[in-house]
Amino acid sequence: MTTPSASHESLLLTLTGRDHPGIASRLTGLLADAGAVLLDIEQVVVRGQLTLCLLVRVPEGRGVLQELHSAAQALGVSLESRAVGEPGPQAVTSPSRHVVTVVGRSLGARELHAVTECLARHEANIERIHRLSDVEPGSFEIHLALPASKEPEELQRSLLELAMATSAFDVALQRESLYRRAKRLVVMDMDSTLIRIEVIDELARAHGVGEQVSRITERAMHGEMDYDESLRQRVALLKGLDARVLHELAARLPLTEGAETLIRVLKRLGYRTAIISGGFSVAAEALRARLGIDYAHSNLLEEADGKLTGRTLGAIVNARRKAELLEDIARAEGILLDQVIAVGDGANDLLMLERAGLGIAFRAKPKLRQAADTSISAGGLDTILYFLGLTARELREVGE
């Protein structure tokens, strides 16, 4: 047992043992009676095992330490105490605080070691680790302080590279701020994001022009053709297709894993949701009605006499238009861009992801993953809910 040697020193009290009601009440009562000043407190319980830390300043000569140790013994817990000095003057450049969210099917010591080793290389100091899942450790939040001399972008790149290399978990680094916990709008691409297919590929196969459409797509991906021209050429190949094929496909679109859970929870929590897609409006509107999504913007295929004409109507929803539509929706809803999440898988989603407070590359090509704030490759769309800081218990409550 240690006593403070001078009035400017404080005591750090650490209690460990089996958790049960009344421990904090008894000890804080003794501290209150002694006129102690509470400077800090933190408690965690893991499988019924308590760790409670209190930083206090106790008036000299009151002898409260002996009372605290006697009370701890009677409560069946261990108490350690040590004197700690007062913190010095705050540095001119304070560390920046961030939260790392790790989500996987099952996270073990190997995965946690890989993440914490990455943090150590960037001199990030872990302040708290909190499990979001309930039974198995499938999701963690790691709260950390990053030295002012270190760039968060460098740590973010390292974490994303780690996740891509292992394929065992997804990881997000976000600045710990009000906006991390106050997102209000989630905007999603449709094809290969909200649904598992590319609608234009399915239509092309049904019309017997699948290979031709794929070749045009490949040329556009290699930068040999801009998006607008590639869309015009692909749509032109659909000329004469029975429009019934499009409408039947739209009625049975296969949702991506976790999509229904994501939208249901977001709606329950009052979020606004939107589809902004370079795909086709018949499909986007079908999803909007099916899932209760608030907005849907996409390309309109022209129909005449029950057939597709091979043309689109109105402005093409390309990369620039996607970003503009995101801003328009946020403005109409009175939502700051920092409160927006954008999710997409393709190069034409990049500008949209850059405009959002959190841009997520979903099962995307490496180029988009490297440019986005974070990526999801191991899990489904409901992984986003953990990035919002929600726990498994809270998700169950919302789902009830």
Q: What positions carry a catalytic annotation? A: 189, 191
**Coil, helix or strand for 250?**
helix
Q: Tell me the Ramachandran region of residue 158: left when phi exceeds 0, alpha when psi lies from -120 to 50, beta otherwise.
A: alpha
Q: Give the number of residues written for the chain.
A: 400
- CB burial class (10 A; 0-12, 13-18, 19+) of residue 23? buried
- Where does the chain show beta strands of DSSP type E? 10-18, 37-46, 49-57, 77-84, 96-104, 125-131, 139-146, 169-175, 185-188, 272-280, 295-304, 307-313, 340-344, 358-362, 374-376
What's the CA gap between 262 and 280, in Å, rounded?
22
**Closest-CA residue to 148 (of 92, 221, 93, 213):** 93
Query: How would you list the strands of the sheet with 77-84, edge to edge?
Result: 37-46, 49-57, 10-18, 77-84
Tokens of 310: 């091979």
Residue with tokens 């100091």: 125
Inter-helix orientation angle 199-207/210-221, to 10°: 140
What's the CA gap between 178 and 164, in Å, rounded?
29
Alpha carbon separation from 30 to 33, 105, 207, 366 (Å, rounded)? 5, 45, 81, 58
